[in-house]
Amino acid sequence: MKKILVIVMDGLGDRPNPELGGRTALQAAYRPNLNYLASRGLNGLMFPVKEGVRSGSDTSHLSILGYDTFSVYTGRGPFEAMGLGMEVMPGDIAFRANFAYMNEDGIIEDRRAGRISESTEQLCRAISLEIDGVKFMVKNGVEHRAALVMHGAGLSDRITDSDPHVVGKSPENVRALAPEADFTAEVLNKYLEKIRPILKTHGYNKARTQSGNLPATELLLRGAGKAPTLDSFPDKFGLKAGCVVGIPLISGICRLAGIDVVNYEGATGTVKTNYQGKIAAALRALETRDFVLVNIKAPDIAGHDGKPELKRDVIQESDKAFGQIIPHLDNIVVAITGDHSTPCSIKEHSGDPVPLLIASDGMNRDGVSRYDEVSATRGSLRLKSTDLMDVLMSASDRSEKYGA
């Protein structure tokens, strides 16, 4: 029985870049360790979630961990809240939220309160409070965006939005769509009532008005979602599990799955992260665990920014760090893949498959000795991400036998 190391290079997949002579960032990268690891096992393509799905990092990581996203994914609310670093517990209700400008007559005049440029952190703190045993926690996002999490007993996400979705109207009264949501709608309406005077009189908004900006006098809520209860990953696979990840969205998912979040020096979740430290931390974590998931966010950031040279460079930095894995192939089955493609040419996630390598001592090898999107097409594997864990359980000789 071997240990399992899964390295997800976020947004790894790419398309040809004119800036790189028509090559993908991965093809253009100097990557001796990735190529060597490719030669030590099986290669191929992985389809995040399934063929042709343009997945997010949340749905993709859920499926890489073996969850059927079509049954467990409860919408963006809870995952965006996690992405902002909020602790979301099973049963919590989470919303996507906008700070908006509502005038004296209660009419929404600007759904983005003039696209706020300064952080709304102090405003969010001021309207994080408790009513009738329900905690309301608000966390600032980019510009006018925020997330609201409701934590308490007996909450339901079967409620309507307060966001009227158009200007010139008042915020909607939140209504229950099912009897079990009556309490949730009631306490949420109380909450929205209670925070209006707080927002109106807050120094932050006075300052905005004085400087000629629209004040953030209303919090518009949409997309209520209940944080899913995930079956325990360690129980399901019989693995003592940890993760080394720099971004809150993925550590949030791991927490929901019962996977330890391992801290490491220099974690940033940016292109300046400590690549060597991350892989060293993962290998250390594996000393006392059976499974470790690593997420390297940098390629996705470079892809979203449309910077092929940067994407190439962060892959090169990662490759240097992967050299640390090679001496451990007698004891570890390593999988290196992406959670989705983020081609620099479109600056967004695409549904393209991602390269996958699975390497360890004693495995069959499929003769592929380069790790990139095109070489992977000559490999032996074609996997949906939801099947990856089963394949790794088998490759590490940990599967239960099914049958006699």
Q: How many residues bind a second copy (CB under 8 A)?
A: 61
Under rule CB under 8 A, residue 299 binds a second copy: no
**What part of residues 354-383 is at the interface with a second copy (CB under 8 A)?**
362-367, 373-374, 376-380, 382-383
Under rule CB under 8 A, residue 58 binds a second copy: yes
Of 28, 10, 8, 7, the closest CA to residue 18 belongs to: 28
What is the C-alpha to C-alpha distance for residues 35 and 45, in angstroms, rounded to an integer?
15
Under rule CB under 8 A, residue 327 binds a second copy: no
Q: What is the CA radius of gyration of the chain?
A: 23
DSSP labels, 243-287? EEESSHHHHHHHHHTTPEEPP-TT--SSTTS-HHHHHHHHHHHHH
**What part of residues 204-223 is at the interface with a second copy (CB under 8 A)?**
none
Half-sphere exposure of residue 159: CA atoms within 13 angstroms, side-chain side: 29
Contact characters 65-104, a second copy, x per CB under 8 A = ----x---x--x--xx--x---------------------
Contact characters 246-265, a second copy, x per CB under 8 A = ---x----------------
Give me the least distance between CB of 187 and a second copy, in Å please.
26
**How many degrees, rounded to 5, is the angle at CA 329 between CA 328 and CA 331?**
75
Nearer to a second copy, 86 or 383 (CB): 383
Cβ atoms of 175 and 159 within 8 Å: the answer is yes
Its sign, for the CA torsion 58, 61, 65, 69, is positive
Contact characters 7-36, a second copy, x per CB under 8 A = --------xx-------x------------
A 10 A CB-CB count for 304 gives 16
Under rule CB under 8 A, residue 397 binds a second copy: yes
Q: What do you get for the CA distance between the two ends of the chain, in Å?
A: 20
Of 383, 356, 360, the closest CA to residue 368 belongs to: 356
Under rule CB under 8 A, residue 391 binds a second copy: yes
Give me the least distance between CB of 257 and a second copy, in Å please.
16
Under rule CB under 8 A, residue 401 binds a second copy: yes
Three-class SS of residue 145?
strand
| Binding region for a second copy (CB under 8 A) | 15-16, 24, 42, 45, 49-60, 69, 73, 76, 79-80, 83, 249, 345-346, 348-352, 362-367, 373-374, 376-380, 382-383, 387, 389-395, 397, 399-404
